[in-house]
Structure 1
Amino acid sequence: MIILHGVALSPYYTKVKIALIEKGVNYEEVFTPPAQDEVFLAKSPMGKIPYVEINGFALAESTAILEWLEDAYPTAALLPPSPNARSRAREIMQMIELYLAAPCAPLTRHVLFGAPLDEEAREQARSDIRRAVAALTRLTRFSPWLAGEDFSYADIAAASFFPLVSQMTQAVLAEDLLAPLLDETGYMARLGQRNSIAQSWAGRDAAVAAFMARRKKAAQS
């Protein structure tokens, strides 16, 4: 049994959950907020989520967890068969996380936690996200998946981060910065038809709704 620790608000948690469902392995979800106490750090050295426990073996960092799953459960592969295609899937996943999701983080903290965000920071995020979208446009294929014919790490990253980036840029910057990449591809609809993604999105949406309800109640009290 694999125990997945974290919170469904996190796109990195979503990433691991999708992979677990795709692999068809038995797993249990345990609500575990990030922390910096010694007990938590013994499981996740940076105090971040998600992390997993596998028969007493603790492993943090979402990509390392995906790689463990790919090694341990090679059937229902999440990487294409050829070295070139495998490296492309990994490349796209890294680009999504490093150059698209990271610049979006200040927008997310502003919307969810009320963190300050001045105009300069907004425009920097807009510029960085646009640059990432242009780069991804050069690499992605949508034939039908991001790295080609095979559903892969690239699509798991997209399912985890694309909705967040789209929502946050619309909420803070008044435009969907992902539209130039996704318009008329039908890609998000294809993603949503996969059970692993539909299930993970439902969990994320419920977590976001519960979080915003608690925040509103706290503000009113």
Structure 2
Amino acid sequence: MLKLCGFALSNYYNKVKMVLLEKGVPFEESFAYPSQDEAFLARSPLGKVPFFETAQGPLCESQPMIEYLEALHPERPVYSRDPFIAAKQRELIVFLELHLELVARELYPQAFFGGTVSESAQARVRKRLERHITAFRQVAKFDPYLAGGEFSAADCAAFVHLPVIGLATQQIYGSDLLIEHGIDWKGYVKTIGERPSAQRVTADRKAYIAQQAKR
């Protein structure tokens, strides 16, 4: 059986997990935390999560993992059958992860983990985010799904990434930059959150947080 390795606080882990649940693919979960241990690097060369353990070997990076699932189980697609719409759905994932989440990630040490991000870095990140959010608004429809009328893998990505980006900017700048620039991600996430896959991911994430708090 396919094994998903990582932990329930990781937004990229939850993105892949949500796709697995949407497609109805049987899988096991195996707790794994980022590591530079030699044995870990043999499965995930950068020491990151998530990654798959498959009968053919390990597979890392969340987007190739999703593309693998789509090719392996095409009977329940997470992309449109229309090639152009499917390409637009993938385009949105790139915007979310490369142009928004990866940029906002520089704020996370101070926003979530008690670290410090310099004022110059905060200003640089804000400038990039504001430009990228404006661009994202041009391609995202939220009608009702991210790419329009069809639920897709882009919604799995948006469901896990947008709240983190919004909260990080709120913590650092005193203002949620997504909302400030006209993206009602809270209403959208509430809609997606009604799906059983999203409810499972959310429940498992909250259980993980509660478990860590007890420790």
One fold, TM greater than 0.5? Answer: yes
**Paired position in structure 2 for 1:73:** 73
Say if 2:163 and 2:185, in contact at 8 Å, map to a contact too. no
Taking a change above 3 Å as real, the CA distance of residues 87 and 45 of structure 1, as seen in their structure-2 partners, is same
**Paired position in structure 1 for 2:149:** 149
Aligned pair count reads 214
* Stretch moving more, 145-154 or 108-117: 108-117
Q: State the secondary structure of the residue aligned to 2:29.
A: strand
TM-score by length of structure 1 reads: 0.90
**Paired position in structure 1 for 2:163:** 163
Alignment deviations for residues 90-143 of structure 1 (CA, whole Å, 9 cap, x no partner): 111001001110111122122333232111111222222222211111011122
- Matches for 1:51-200 after TM superposition, within 5 Å: 51-179=51-179, 180-183=181-184, 186-200=187-201
Alignment deviations for residues 60-94 of structure 1 (CA, whole Å, 9 cap, x no partner): 01000000000011122110111111110011100
Q: State the secondary structure of the residue aligned to 1:163.
A: helix
Question: 2:201 is matched by which residue type in structure 1?
Answer: S
Say if 1:142 and 1:185, in contact at 8 Å, map to a contact too. no
- In the alignment, the residues of structure 1 paired with residue 185 and residue 129 of structure 2 have an alpha-carbon distance, to the nearest angstrom, of 20
Deviation at 1:209, TM superposition (A): 4.7
- In the alignment, the residues of structure 1 paired with residue 208 and residue 107 of structure 2 have an alpha-carbon distance, to the nearest angstrom, of 18
Say if 2:112 and 2:168, in contact at 8 Å, map to a contact too. no
Question: 1:36 is matched by which residue type in structure 2?
Answer: Q
Say if 1:146 and 1:154, in contact at 8 Å, map to a contact too. yes
Q: State the secondary structure of the residue aligned to 1:186.
A: helix
Aligned Cα root-mean-square deviation (Å): 1.9
- In the alignment, the residues of structure 2 paired with residue 17 and residue 27 of structure 1 have an alpha-carbon distance, to the nearest angstrom, of 9
- In the alignment, the residues of structure 2 paired with residue 146 and residue 117 of structure 1 have an alpha-carbon distance, to the nearest angstrom, of 31
- In the alignment, the residues of structure 1 paired with residue 21 and residue 43 of structure 2 have an alpha-carbon distance, to the nearest angstrom, of 22
Say if 1:52 and 1:58, in contact at 8 Å, map to a contact too. yes
Q: State the secondary structure of the residue aligned to 1:3.
A: strand
Deviation at 1:49, TM superposition (A): 0.5
**Paired position in structure 2 for 1:35:** 35
> Percentage identity across aligned positions?
38
Taking a change above 3 Å as real, the CA distance of residues 2 and 83 of structure 1, as seen in their structure-2 partners, is same
**Paired position in structure 2 for 1:14:** 14
Deviation at 1:56, TM superposition (A): 4.9
